[in-house]
A and B are shown apart, each in its own frame.
Chain A
Amino acid sequence: MTHFYRAFLLVVLCCMITALPVHAQQRDEAPLISGSFRNMTFQDFAQRLETRLPYKFYFEQVVGDSITVDLEVDGEPLNLVLAQILKETDYKFAITEQRQIFITRQSAIMTSLPSNFFKDEEKARRSSQLATPAYLPQQQNNKKRIQSEIKLYEIGTPNRSNTGRANLAGTLRDAGTGEPIIGAHIYIESPSIGTASDQYGYYSLSLPVGRHELNIRAVGLKNTKRQVVLHSDGKLDIEVEEDIRTLKEVLVEAEKDRNVTGLQMGMERLDIRTIKQVPTAFGETDILRVVLTLPGVKSVGEGSTGMNVRGGSTDQNLILLNDATIYNPSHLFGFFSAFNPDVIKSVELYKSAVPARYGGRLSSVLEVTSREGNKKQFSGAGGIGLLTSRLTLEGPIIKDKTSILVGGRSTYSDWLLKKIPNKSFSNSEASFYDINTHISHEINDKNSLYLTGYLSKDRFKLAADTLYRFQNQNASIKWKHNFHNKLYSVVTGTYSHYGYNISNEENAVNASVMDFGINQTGMQVDFNYFPDSKHTLDFGASAIRYEVNPGSLVPNHSESLIKADKLQQEKAIESALYLSDRYDISQKLSVSAGLRYSLFTALGQRDVLQYAPGLPMTLNTIVDTVSYGSGKSIATYHGPEFRLSARYVLSDNSSVKVSFNRLRQYVHMLSNTATMAPTDTWKLSDSNIKPQVGDQVAIGYYRNLRANTIEFSAEAYYKWMQDFLDYRSGANIIMNHHIETDVANADGKAYGVELMLKKASGKLNGWISYTYSRTMVRLNDPTVSEVINRGEWYASNYDKPHDLTMISNYRFSQRFSTSLNVTYSTGRPITLPLAKYYDGSSNRILYSDRNEYRIPDYYRVDLALNIEGNHKIAKLAHSSWTVAVYNLTGRKNPYSVYFKSQGGQIKGYKMSIFGNPIPTITYNFKF
């Protein structure tokens, strides 16, 4: 009985929403009507028909009285006649198998139960043929989208042949906000065909003609399904409801069998819901901090958001926020990431098999997508934490068509610093803010427009004399155009700016301001083409123009003796063409082959130093200076980048994947600290600095256990890197007119094995990953630079061979859950003092070979309790509390180990940033 009740409710509910006209049904069986019905009430009309036909009418008295019938028909089917009568009214009709005619207000009632309702195939088929409201293109639907799991949707025009394939495409949207759902899995089970929705929520499936049950799985949303009968190519937009109950699950079933059946390897997708439950040091959800828990992603230490993916350096990650490059993804010394968690929808990280669409960085692509904003109603969200607060407002400008989202975040850490009873802290200032905006507009069924903007500003002052300021500015515009079901294009324009300035005012003579800035303007056209069920083609072109102001130094005091200095501006254009095809050769074997060809040209106007060939570039080997005019090419580099991957399914729940990819990188970050610092500058390749090239092969084994609830994956990789930048001893990277004399092109290699066991659903969920990896550097060419460590391979700064991470979540009840994270990793390499000596006045130290030793291992446990408010759907504001303890065991993990000569004595120190358990409490709300 409850079954029936629930089904009935659903039926009624979806009828209310969909409001479909029903006149297209029962073409075959409807009796023909002839006669003149002039100026009569509906009541009379019904009585007349009842006398002639074996049908019975059901309607409320008010219907019978209020509707007037005035028409003359000659042999027209009953349904058309009824449709004509009710056309101008808001009444609908439905005709049942039992020849009953129901007239209802606003929406027609469903006249049959879902096909599988009584598990009686035969009956179901009959009833569905009888009385399913046909699916109509959405523009006729007055923008109401379809939400019934049990309705049967007919797609396309029926033809007699029941064979062949047809294409089904559409957009998946959140029923509550109208936002597209990214990365939802949409599939049929027999035969097993599936795909994932792209970043616009768009999916395109090629299915056999006939009847299917479409399953839709998405993170944080209710698992749902749709019954479809596919006659020919057609569209089906689907709205999926938010699953409040699973709000705090780590990963819901979206990725259920993608682990095994997906072609992509070395890729991780994190949903903001997953990210939000991982405890952080200051209680603020931090996207990058969670990314750092994934296998293969490391950082040199806490308080640093620079990430090292599979042995790559921190500048080898392409960090995209809505397709615009973010050069500095951190705030406040790296303690916060630059992304406001309320604005972000999802994060995708590609560690290997990077799609051909992306290029320009060696190690990884981190794509951060912001939410589009609620298209249905105004809403907001926010949070209040110990150091930061944030507020996001969103809503429709034109309902279901245009939405706007504005999010802001700011810190009040200044007052906290002032309270620290330590002079160097209390004389310091630190503040930041960031603002995100997103406008999305659906021009029509085929065209959508997205505008996004991002601004972040930081300012901090260390020990009262030097003021650092840095900012990111990003904007992007995207136009998505659907040519037809199988082809769509996206045109993207982006602008990114990163800049900082450092002003020093302690001493009038040295008072100065130093500026750095990089501007990047890009244009990209992407096409996605689904010619048939076996092929998916991506192709496109992109062009990026870089403009770098590598540094300028200006005195900012009348007494200052600082010589105004400006490094020459650098300009370059990087363009690329790409094509990739995913080919499903058989059920078991799929391959994807891609080729990206990139071309980089460094442009004048510039004076370029020429060095004697075959000798290290030093001030003594400069032989000439060549001037290039404005727009003249200084140096050109180009080359193919191959992206190949293949998947072979071994059994229903296991598969093997392999991939090879090559990437080229033309911009380099200059930094002589192990962590990412705001003073890092970026340098474009030119005739003296070669681009970096990296190759990676990877192989993986994937297996799902216990009906896809447990996923196991093992991936191994080997990576070669050429010409990435390492530094000569005592390198000066700021205001250096000949930076090539202070850097050296190093060779790198990295290899490792990543094991991951993930339980995606259930009361207890989370993942455990173990990584063994090495990353090595070699500086062995005396014609390039000094030889480090006698030209042997040495461990890079971020080489941490063993890494074990556990992220777990246990849900006690629907409103109360706990998260426990455990992280262990080998300490990072360090150059240690070997011996001490007396220099005539003081003891000093002699250091070992570069990176010969390691700091103590890293170990941390975090615990968080999430308490949800009640889950009444209609509520002014949904709120939650998160109480967390970061570094529960209080282990003093060393961030750095160093030695100082103090008062003639050598003392070793270990600096830990979070040396105590740090309790935090955060209040989050959503309205």
Chain B
Amino acid sequence: MKIRNWKNPIVWLVMLVFSGCVEPYFPEVKESASSFLVVNGFLNANGPTTIQLLRTQNLNETGTPPAEVNATVFVESENGERYGLHETDFGTYVHPNLQMSSDSKYRLYIRTRSGSEYASDYVEVQVTPEIDNVHWRAVGDEVKVYIDTHDPLNNSQYYRWEYEQTWQFRSALPTTLLYERGTIRYRDQRDMPINLCWKTSFSNTIELASSENLSTDVISDYHIFSIPAGSESISIRNSILVRQYTLTRDAYQYWGIVKKNTENIGTLFDPLPSQQHSNIKSLSNPGEVVIGFVSAAFVQEKRIFIDKDELPSEWRPNFASCGTDTLMLSEGNIRDYFEGGYQMPVSEIFPPSGSMYPIGYTYAPRNCVDCTTQGTNVKPAFWE
């Protein structure tokens, strides 16, 4: 936040009035007696289906959410065909390829280890139109990413998107040196590269849009997310993958409520939280709260790249504050400094008189030097 005019008394007055309007708040909420089943994922008609079963946590609990392990999970069609899902990780149940037909309806069935049974409503498999375009514009001090799509059949109307970003980045302090068994040498081809890496992040917002109000089924320039100007993710090259799938009206409403309840509340005119109605019901205990909404759809994907060259030239990446310290060989021992790998050498220091043997090294913490602490140095298959 830039204060333009500190000396202006009006600014002070206004700051006095409006500052501290919003502050963190931790209400006392009664400990909820039971923890409710959470069903994540959707039925993918053209790819692997991953269903994650978790339990809710009290707000003040920390740690990873408890998983519902050893459950029986299958997808069932209206005429009785069943496709079992296999637990690959704690609470994660996968089917490699559900051959679902857009003529039939399917539901998700779950029986937990303790014997409670749950089933979703039968849902139609939604056909998703192709993504027309994923494009971006540098607006102000951020890159805004937009999506365009349309359904020539005018059937889709309700859309949801998920996206992931993969980007290339350099460590803050590139090095040509390697500490190995008490000595420092130059890196070569055989050494693991630690200056250039890739990192991936997944969307954590619910992106929805509808063409309900439009005369044709067109979504134009839907702003899906932004990347701030100084972000590391656009310091070299960024790749964005967008997944699109069509929702039913009920699913659209459910996700709209979830989004509203958690992303959008708090300004003067925002609506109050509303109750979210899952299409998954407990068969054993009809009143039980279940979280999640099962949809089935064909998924469409599109990937684009953003290069640093295409961005405004004045944008500079904000690197983590990484400084170097100096180790003079006359004062310390290499092994003491670098054994264990918490610190890494960055460059050599030569005497002013000139010599081919360094008299010391600059060094920095590992996460400033080794990019594999933040990402992977394995080039993704799609990287061009």
- B-binding residues in A (CB < 8 A): 303, 333, 416, 419-422, 425, 507, 509-510, 553, 561-563, 565, 672-675, 677, 679, 727, 729-731, 735, 786, 788, 797, 831-842, 844-848, 850, 853, 892, 894-901, 903-904, 906-916, 918
A223 to B203, CA, bound (A): 74
Residues of B within 8 A of A845 (CB): 59, 261-262
Known: A836-B56, A836-B57, A896-B266. 19 other contacts (CB 8 A): A420-B18, A425-B18, A507-B221, A510-B220, A562-B214, A672-B271, A673-B268, A673-B272, A674-B272, A797-B272, A832-B27, A837-B291, A840-B40, A895-B268, A898-B266, A906-B59, A912-B22, A916-B17, A918-B17
State the CA gap A897–B272 with chains docked (Å): 10
Is B16's beta carbon under 8 Å from chain A?
yes
The closest CB in chain B to the CB of A735 belongs to: B213
Whether the pair A730, B256 counts as a contact (CB closer than 8 A) is yes
Interchain CA distance A842-B52 in the complex, whole Å: 13
Q: Pick from B1, B41, B202, B262 the residue with the most CB of A within 10 Å.
A: B262
Contacts A563-B213, A838-B38, A913-B21 known; A416 to B10 CB distance under 8 Å?
yes
B59 touches A900 (CB 8 A): no
Contacts of A913 in B (CB 8 A): 21
**Could you pull out 7 A-B pairs where Cβ atoms are within 8 angstroms?**
A730-B274, A842-B204, A844-B262, A847-B276, A900-B262, A901-B262, A915-B20
Name the residue among B162, B215, B277 with the largest chain A CB count within 10 angstroms.
B215
**Complex alpha-carbon distance, A487 and B38, angstroms:** 73
Q: How far is the CA of A913 from the CA of B22 in the complex (A)?
A: 8
Tell whether B270 is near chain A: CB-to-CB under 8 Å: yes
Interface pair A303/B262, CB less than 8 Å apart? no
- Whether the Cβ atoms of A909 and B24 lie closer than 8 Å is yes
Q: B257 near A730 (CB under 8 angstroms)?
A: yes
When chains A and B are docked, how far (Å) is the Cα of A674 from the Cα of B266?
A: 11
Look across to chain B and name the residue whose beta carbon is closest to the beta carbon of A333: B268
Q: Among the listed A425, A562, A675, A836, which residue makes an inter-chain contact with B268, where contact means beta carbons less than 8 Å apart?
A: A675
- Least Cβ–Cβ distance between B156 and chain A, in angstroms: 15
B98 at the interface (CB under 8 A from A): no
Query: Which residues of chain A have C-beta atoms less than 8 A from B220's C-beta?
Result: 507, 509-510, 561
Given A673-B269, A835-B35, A915-B20, residue A561 in contact with residue B54 (CB < 8 A): no
Closest chain B CB from A799 CB (angstroms) = 14
CB–CB B17/A563 < 8 A: no
A834 to B27, CA, bound (A): 10
Residue numbers in B under 8 Å from A898 (CB-CB): 265-266
Distance from A159 Cβ to chain B, minimum over Cβ atoms (Å): 69
* Nearest residue, chain A, Cβ from B212: A563
Give the complex CA separation of A303 and B268 in angstroms: 9
A203 to chain B, nearest CB (A): 46
Complex CA distance for A553 and B57, rounded to whole angstroms: 43
Asked if B56 and A835 make an inter-chain contact with CB atoms under 8 angstroms apart, the answer reads: yes
Task: Report if A847-B3 is in contact (Cβ < 8 Å); known contacts: A788-B275, A836-B59, A908-B26.
Answer: no
Interface size class of B (residues with CB under 8 A): 35 or more
Instruction: Tell me if B329 counts as interface (CB < 8 A to partner A).
Output: no
Q: Which residues of B have CB within 8 Å of A847?
A: 261, 273, 275-276
Instruction: Given A421-B15, A900-B263, verify A911-B213 contact (CB < 8 Å).
Output: no
Residue among B16, B203, B253, B262 making CB contact with A916, cutoff 8 Å = B16
Please provide the 4 A-B residue pairs with the shortest distance between their CB atoms, ordered closest to farther: A910-B25, A842-B204, A729-B274, A835-B56
Q: Would you give the 0/1 interface string for B330-365, flagging 1 where the beta carbon is closer than 8 Å to chain A?
A: 000000000000000000000000000000000000
Q: Is the CB of A837 within 8 A of B26?
A: no
Closest to B26 in A: A908
B57 touches A901 (CB 8 A): no
B210 to chain A, nearest CB (A): 11
Report the minimum CB–CB distance from A678 to chain B (whole Å). Answer: 8
Interface residue from A672, A835, A846, A915 paired with B21 (Cβ < 8 Å): A915
Contact residues of B between 244 and 291, Cβ < 8 Å to A: 253, 256-258, 260-263, 265-266, 268-277, 289, 291
- CB B32 to nearest CB in A, in angstroms, measures 5
**A425, A561, A832, A912: the one within 8 Å of B214 (CB):** A561
Q: State whether the Cβ of B65 lies closer than 8 Å to any Cβ in chain A.
A: yes
> A561-B215, A834-B29, A847-B273 in contact; A419/B8 too (CB < 8 A)?
yes
B203-244 interface code vs A (CB 8 A; 1 in, 0 out): 111000000011110101100000000000000000000000
Interface centre among B25, B215, B218 (most CB of A within 10 A): B25
- A561's contact among B29, B218, B265, by CB below 8 Å, is which? B218
Nearest-Cβ distance from residue A420 to partner chain B, whole angstroms = 5
Query: Which residues does chain A contribute within 8 Å of B162, judged by CB atoms?
Result: 841
**Does B313 have its Cβ within 8 Å of any Cβ on chain A?**
no
Contact between B23 and A892, CB atoms less than 8 A apart: yes
Alpha-carbon distance between A892 and B21 when the two chains are bound, in angstroms? 8
Cβ 8 A contact of B65, one of A831, A837, A900: A837
Question: In the bound complex, do residue B203 and residue A730 qualify as a contact, i.e. CB atoms below 8 Å apart?
Answer: no
Q: Out of B1, B11, B260, B266, which one reaches A911, CB within 8 Å? A: B266
- How many angstroms from the CA of A831 to the CA of B10 in the assembled complex? 38
A918 CA to B58 CA, complexed, in Å: 38
Shortest Cβ distance from residue B284 to the other chain A in the assembled complex, whole angstroms: 19
Which residue, B11, B221, B274, has most C-beta atoms of chain A within 10 A?
B274
- In angstroms, Cα B32 to Cα A563, docked, is 46
Residue pair A729, B263 in contact (C-beta under 8 Å)? no
Beyond A416-B10, A844-B262, is A673–B213 a contact (Cβ under 8 Å)?
no
Across the interface, which residues of B come within 8 angstroms of A563, CB to CB? 213-215
CA gap between A918 and B61 in the complex, in Å: 39
A846 and B291 contact, Cβ closer than 8 Å, known pairs A835-B59, A897-B27, A913-B21 = yes
Would A565 and B291 be within 8 Å (CB), given that A677-B269, A797-B272, A838-B38 are in contact? no
A730:B21 contact, CB within 8 angstroms: no
Q: Which of B20, B54, B272, B291 contacts A912 (CB 8 A)?
A: B20
Question: Is the pair B272, A841 in contact by a Cβ cutoff of 8 Å?
Answer: no
Counting chain A CB atoms within 10 Å of each CB, the highest count among B36, B54, B203, B275 belongs to B275
Q: Is B4 in the interface zone, CB < 8 Å from A?
A: yes
| Most chain A CB atoms below 10 A, which of B18, B20, B24, B272 | B272
Q: Let me know if B381 is at the binding interface, CB within 8 A.
A: no
Per-position 1/0 for B133-163, Cβ under 8 A of A: 0000000000000000000000000000010
B40 CB contacts on chain A under 8 angstroms: 838-840
Indicate with 1 or 0, residue by residue over B49-66, a CB within 8 angstroms of chain A CB atoms. 000101111110100010
Cβ 8 A contact of A679, one of B221, B269, B273: B269
Please indicate the chain B residues that have their CB under 8 angstroms from the CB of A908 in the complex. Answer: 24-27, 59
**Are A420 and B14 in touch, CB under 8 angstroms?**
yes
Contacts of B5 in A (CB 8 A): 419
For the complex, give the distance between the alpha carbons of A490 and B79 in Å.
75
Give bound CA distance, A655 to B234, whole Å.
79
- Inter-chain CA distance A788–B274, complex, in Å, is 10
B163 to chain A, nearest CB (A): 10
Chain B nearest CB, measured from A503 CB (Å): 15
Q: Contact: A846 with B56, CB < 8 Å?
A: yes
> Complex formed: what's the CA distance from A563 to B210 in Å?
13
Q: Cβ of B2 < 8 Å from any Cβ of A?
A: yes
Q: Which of A562, A677, A833, A892 contacts B20 (CB 8 A)?
A: A892
Q: Which residues of A contact B54 (CB under 8 A)?
A: 837-838
B277 A729 Cβ-Cβ under 8 A:
yes
Contacts of A509 in B (CB 8 A): 218, 220-221
Given that A419-B11, A673-B270 are contacting pairs, would A904 and B204 also be in contact in the complex, using a CB cutoff of 8 Å?
yes
B17 neighbours in A (Cβ, 8 Å): 914, 916, 918
By the criterion CB–CB under 8 Å, are B257 and A910 in contact? no
The distance in angstroms between the C-alpha atoms of A908 and B24, with both chains bound, is: 6
**Which residues of A sit under 8 angstroms from B10, Cβ to Cβ?**
416, 419
Contacts of A303 in B (CB 8 A): 268
Whether A416 touches B26, Cβ cut-off 8 Å, given contacts A834-B32, A841-B202, is no
Q: How far is the CB of A306 from chain B (nearest CB, A)?
A: 12
Residues of B contacting A895 in the complex (Cβ-Cβ under 8 angstroms):
268
Given contacts A797-B272, A838-B54, A918-B17, are A422 and B261 in contact (CB under 8 A)?
no
Does B183 interact with chain A (Cβ within 8 Å)?
Answer: no
Nearest Cβ on chain A to B11's Cβ, whole angstroms:
6
